[in-house]
Amino acid sequence: MPITPQDASKRAREICGLAPIVPVLVVNDAAVARPLAEALVAGGLPALEVTLRTPAALEVIREMSQVKGGIVGAGTLITPQDVTAAVEAGAQFGVSPGATDELLDACEEADLPLLAGAATATEAMRLLARGYDMLKFFPAEASGGAPALKAIGAPLPQISFCPTGGVSPSNAASYLSLSNVICAGGSWVAPADLIVARDWAAIEALAKAACQLREA
């Protein structure tokens, strides 16, 4: 059954509210998917964004979807075909760098909550007019960072954001302190070297530290 933009935003907001950081994951080997997801979930980060940037991404989503306590989403959704593949792989939400009517239509038809990307007030207003009030602010740092997002929030207080792109431990707290930010997306909690080394304890520790950023 198709989802309305309002319900899509409600569900996306609930997912974003689970933890202050959503790990943005680029995974090349599906064999590490489950232990990686288990480490992040154990560290307190249940919402996981698997970007569709590697040949293994869909299999990674399938594997991570089996991990208890995890909510796995597909990132870098660009086309309706991406949406279909992500849903078939078990994705529970989607994330896109921007938004087109074609992509929004596909996500709504597939009952897939979408965190659609916006970088300007105009883009945010267009999505709000369609019914979306929980958005991704991307690319966050390149678009002016926390000061820009704070400025956008002044005339558009009804929209909440998940800033992604250049967010790091050094600037995450500045984003999370904003009234219009629910969470932030970051890749530092699962760095490639630790994934290759299969150092799940270190990744769990990074996740636990990320959970403390809102209080920082």
The total of other beta-carbon atoms located within 10 Å of residue 112's CB is: 23
- Give the model's pLDDT for residue 180: 98
Catalytic choice (38, 49, 63, 108) = 49
- Cα(139)–Cα(145) distance, integer angstroms: 9
Q: What is the pLDDT of residues 58-73, one digit of tens each?
A: 999 999 999 999 999 9
29 pLDDT band, cuts 50/70/90, is very high
Q: What is the pLDDT of residues 47-101, one digit of tens each?
A: 999 999 999 999 999 999 999 999 999 999 999 999 999 999 999 999 999 999 9
- Give the model's pLDDT for residue 51: 98
Catalytic choice (63, 108, 136, 204) = 136
- Cα(68)–Cα(37) distance, integer angstroms: 9
49 is catalytic: yes
Q: Render the burial of 27-64: b for 16+ CB within 10 Å, e for the rest.
A: beebebbbebbbbbbbbbbbbbbbbbebebbbbbbbbb
| Region 154-177 average pLDDT | 98
- Give the model's pLDDT for residue 40: 98
- pLDDT exceeds 80 at position 215: no
Q: What is the pLDDT of residues 178-190, one digit of tens each?
A: 999 999 999 999 9
Structural domains of the chain sorted by starting position, each given as residue range(s) with its CATH number in brackets: 5-215 (3.20.20.70)
| Region 16-33 average pLDDT | 98
pTM higher than 0.85 for the full model? yes
Q: Distances from the Cα of 24 to the Cαs of 31, 116, 136, 151, in angstroms?
A: 18, 15, 12, 25
216 pLDDT band, cuts 50/70/90, is low
136 is catalytic: yes
